[in-house]
Structure 1
Amino acid sequence: MFTLIQLQSFVAVAEELHFGAAAERLNMTQPPLSRQIQILEREVGSQLFDRSSRRVELTAAGTVLLPSARQILDLAAKTELDVRRVANGSAGSVTISYTAIAGQTALPQLLRRTAEEQAGVSLVLRELVSTDQMDGLVNGSVDIGLLRPIVVRPGVLTRPIMQDRLVIATPADSDIAVDGDSLPLSALRDSPLMMYSTAEARYFHDLVLRLFSSADVHPRITQYASQVPALLAFVQAGLGVSLVPASARSFAPADVRFYEIEDSRTVRKLNRVELDVAWNENTSNPAVLKLLDLLP
């Protein structure tokens, strides 16, 4: 079987049609070059060049070999480059999972920076609730998660990348609507509350309950959902009110109205919504580590 150095030698001579010029191009002396051509000719069982004291010409066999030899060398060079790019994190594939809100806030920024600085990396995007993201990080089906702070699994690392706050979402024609831009939680005492699922949105569920408890209000929960868009759909339908991240305003229906939470210092101190980035500490994908550097 012929080698790449033999093909490189052959292509150089075929293009230069001069052994001395080909040897100089390959940064080698002429005798080793001639030996490589001779070995290649034995491997393919054909003479590749007609040689004379005046000229070097390709034989019919050499003419047939030349385009294939160029393709093989090009593929070898491309393969070497691809391997190096994957090894240094500038190429490859990364699966990113994200919550619905993260898909509207942190994710677009990450996609933009990836396109600018890691254009060779292919991204697979999956919208998942935080608990499902954590499962994916553990079993390897997810490389990077944009999720809410929850109980971290062994082997999964996290760090905060964004902070938000909850605001009150009401139907535009709600009886509790006021002209101002804020409402106390006590104003929601008698309104049906669209609440986060305990199983799939535990972070938000517990935060909302703590906020109402600190305001000494017992909410009247009537519906549950795992994602903010679903809660806003309930509100839009006039079924009640909800507490959602302030960043949800950017994609909320036009007939949903938002109010800042107007309450005590304790409520304001509790009203912090964090978004974490998470990844498996044992990841062997260089693109994952390089992509993590693009996040705050």
Structure 2
Amino acid sequence: MYSLTQLECFVAVAEELHFGAAAERLRMTQPPLSRQIQILERELDTMLFTRTSRSVQLTPAGQSLLPNARRILDLVAKSAVDVRRVASGAAGTLTIAYTAMAAQSALPVFLRTAAAQIPDVTLVLRELVSTDQMDELAKGTVDLGLLRPIVARSGIQSRSITTERMIAAVPADSRIATLPGAMSLIEFADERLLTYAPAEARYFHDLVLTLFTAAGVAPTIVQYASQVPALLALVQAGLGVALVPESARRFAPDGVVFKDLDTRAPMNKFNSVGLSVAWADDNTNPALRPALDMLMHLTPDE
């Protein structure tokens, strides 16, 4: 079987139609160049050039080989570049899991940045609640997770990337929607509370209870949901009120009014919602590191 070196020599002679010029182009002497052509011709059992003292011309067989030889050499060069790009993280595939609210805050900014900085990395997106993201990270089916801070797990690293506040979402036709200014949670004492499922949305479930406890209010919980959009749909239906991250304003459904919470209230020191990026210690995907670097240096307001 002929070698890439032989094809490189053949293409150089075919394009220069001069052994001396081809040898100079390849930075080699003419005798070894001629030997490579002779070996290639023996391998193919055909003459590729007609040679005289004055000229070198391609034979019909040589003319047939030339375009294929160029394609082979181009493919080899491209393959080498592709391999280096994958190894450096500039190409490849990255699977990213995100919560519904991350899709409204950090994720769009990251996707814009990634499109500019790592355009050859294919991003596979999966919407998962935070607990499911941790499971998938541990199994290696997800490379990066955009999730709420939850109980640490061995083998999983995480870093906080954004924080925001909780606000109230109330039906537009409710009494509480007409109250002026920021709200105290005391106003919720007689309201039906829609809140987060303790298993699937433990972070938000615990945060909401902490806020009400700090405010000295025992809420009347009437419905649980695992995702913010589901809670907003329940508020829209007039079934109660809910506390949601302030980024929920970006996709407010008709019939829902958002109210800020009083920053002077005792519970205010607990009113902080975190979003973290998480990944497995043993993840060897080269595209992980540049993606992590981007996430560490962006905010939802960019």
- TM-score of the two chains, using structure 2 as the length reference: 0.96
SS at match of 1:152: coil
| Aligned residue runs from structure 1 range 272-287, under 5 A | 272-287=272-287
Is 2:32 the partner of 1:46?
no
Aligned to 1:238: 238
2-side partners of 1:268 and 1:89: how far apart?
42
Is 2:199 the partner of 1:210?
no
| Aligned residue runs from structure 1 range 194-209, under 5 A | 194-209=194-209
Aligned to 1:184: 184
Q: Does the CA contact (< 8 Å) of 2:215 and 2:265 recur in 1? A: no
Q: Does the CA contact (< 8 Å) of 1:99 and 1:127 recur in 2? A: yes
The code of the aligned residue for 2:49 comes to: F
Task: Tell me which stretches of 4 or more aligned residues in structure 1 moved more than 3 Å.
Answer: 263-266
1-side partners of 2:180 and 2:40: how far apart?
85
Task: Quote the offset at 1:57 in angstroms.
Answer: 0.8
1-side partners of 2:283 and 2:6: how far apart?
39
SS at match of 1:282: coil
Task: Quote the offset at 1:181 in angstroms.
Answer: 3.1
Task: Quote the offset at 1:251 in angstroms.
Answer: 0.7
SS at match of 1:239: coil
* Aligned-pair identity (%): 61
Task: Quote the offset at 1:263 in angstroms.
Answer: 6.2
Is 2:251 the partner of 1:266?
no
Change (3 A) 1:239 1:254: same
The code of the aligned residue for 2:184 comes to: P
SS at match of 2:112: helix
Task: Quote the offset at 1:179 in angstroms.
Answer: 4.2
* CA displacement 1:138-189 (0-9 Å, x = unmatched): 1011001000001122111100000011001100111222342311111111
Aligned to 2:82: 82
2-side partners of 1:285 and 1:35: how far apart?
44
SS at match of 2:76: helix
Task: Quote the offset at 1:7 in angstroms.
Answer: 0.5
Aligned to 1:60: 60
Task: Quote the offset at 1:266 in angstroms.
Answer: 3.2
Aligned to 2:109: 109
Is 2:178 the partner of 1:162?
no
Q: Does the CA contact (< 8 Å) of 1:215 and 1:264 recur in 2? A: no
Aligned length: 296
Change (3 A) 1:171 1:265: closer
2-side partners of 1:66 and 1:4: how far apart?
13
Aligned to 2:220: 220
Q: Does the CA contact (< 8 Å) of 2:184 and 2:265 recur in 1? A: no
2-side partners of 1:53 and 1:266: how far apart?
98
Task: Quote the offset at 1:259 in angstroms.
Answer: 1.1
1-side partners of 2:292 and 2:207: how far apart?
27
Is 2:21 the partner of 1:18?
no
2-side partners of 1:134 and 1:181: how far apart?
39
Consecutive unaligned residues in structure 2, runs of 5 or more: 298-302
SS at match of 1:182: coil
SS at match of 2:177: coil
- TM-score of the two chains, using structure 1 as the length reference: 0.98
Task: Quote the offset at 1:265 in angstroms.
Answer: 4.7
Aligned to 2:32: 32
Task: Quote the offset at 1:258 in angstroms.
Answer: 1.0
1-side partners of 2:42 and 2:224: how far apart?
77
Aligned to 1:141: 141
Q: Does the CA contact (< 8 Å) of 1:181 and 1:258 recur in 2? A: no
The code of the aligned residue for 1:154 comes to: S
